[in-house]
Structure 1
Amino acid sequence: MTTSSYQMDTKLLLFLLLLIPPVLSVVMTWGPWGSLSGCSKTCGFGTEERTRYVVVDGREDEEKKETQISQCYLTHCPVDGNWTLWSGWSVCTKNCGPVGVQKRVRLCSAPYPSYEGKDCTGPSSETKPCENEPCPKIPPDFDISVCKKENKSIFICKSETHCIPMTERCDKKLHCNDGSDELRCWLKSQSGKIPASLCTLLLLSAALFSLCL
C-alpha cells in the first residue's frame, strides 16, 4: 500500500466516524414493586394488584411495566334472609260447626340471615276462617250417666256433655256434638301413618302439613 493510499483510507475512516453518532451503553432493569392496590370488593373475594416499571438509566418508563394480580378477601358479605314457600293450609281446627281456623306457615330459612344480613319481612304465618258441616246434635234419649261409668269402650266427647262407643271413634263420621271424635286420629298417607300429635312438627313441612287433623 502506498503512502497516498493509506492517507486516503485514514481520512475516509475519520469522515465516517464523524457521520455515525457514538453508540451509548443503555442500562435497563426492573424497578421495585409498588404498593398493593386496595381490594376490588368490600366483602367476599376480590382482586388486588401491584405494578413495577422498567428503569432506563435511572428513570421509570411508564410504557414498560409488569402487573401482578392476586386474590383478596376482607370479610363475609351480609346474607339477607328469605322466606321458604308457604306450607299447605292445615285442616280446620273444628271438624264441625261454623267457627274454625286454618293455618299455613313459612320459614325464614331460604337462606337464614347471616353475617349481619337483614331478617325476613312480613308474617311467618297466616290464618283464614273455615266452615264445616253442622255438628251432630245430642240424641234426645241420651243419658249423661253412661259417660261416667268406668267403661273403656266409651269415648267421652271434648264437650263432656256427650259420649259415644269407642268403635265410633275415628271412623271418619262425626258422632260427638263437638266433632271431637274425629280429632287426633291416625291418618293414612302415601308414606304410612302420621299421628295428629305430630302436627306441630309438621307445620315445618309444606309436604306433610296437610296430613294433620
Structure 2
Amino acid sequence: VDGGWGRWSPWQPCKQSGTEDSCHCHHRVCDSPAPAFGGAPCKGSMIEVSNCTLHGGWTSWSSWSQCSATCGIAVKTRKRTCTNPEPKNGGRVCVGQQTTEIYCHQLPSCPLYIPLPVDGGWSQWDSWSECSVKSGSGMQKRKRFCTNPSPRDGGAQCVGSDE
C-alpha cells in the first residue's frame, strides 16, 4: 500500500535553524495510509515554512553624480536602497545612510558678477502738439523719454529737458 498524507497541522510560529528569525510552519504525517507491504512512501514535503522574517539589505552604491556646480563649492552624491532584500514579515530595516555626499575638489572659483552701470539715453522726440491758441502767438510742445536705455545699476539719468 502506497503512503498518503494526512491533514496539515494548523500554522504556528517556528524558528529558522541557527537564527532568531521567526516563520510560520505547518506539518503533516504520512499516515493516511502509512506505506505498507513495500508500498511507496508519500511524495512531497512533510513541512511547509512561510512568512519568514526577512531583514533588509542594502543594494550596492550607485555611481557618483556629477558635481552640483561647475565652479566654487559643489558636491557629488550617490545613493543606495534597502531592497536587497526588502524587509518583510517584521524584518529589520537597513541601518545607515541612504545617500552620501563628498565635496568636488579642484573646481575653479566662480567669477563675481558685478553689473556695470548703464546710463540713461533719450528716446526720439514725440510729434509736436497742436498750437495752444487758434490765432496769434501760441506754443507747441513735444516730449521725449529717458528710456533708450533706461538708467540701471547706478547709471546716470538723462541730461537735459524732456520737453
Pairwise same-fold verdict (TM > 0.5): no
TM-score (normalizing by structure 1): 0.36
TM-score, with length taken from structure 2: 0.45
Structure that is richer in helix per residue: 1
- Which structure has the highest strand share of the two? 1
Structure with max Cα Rg: 1
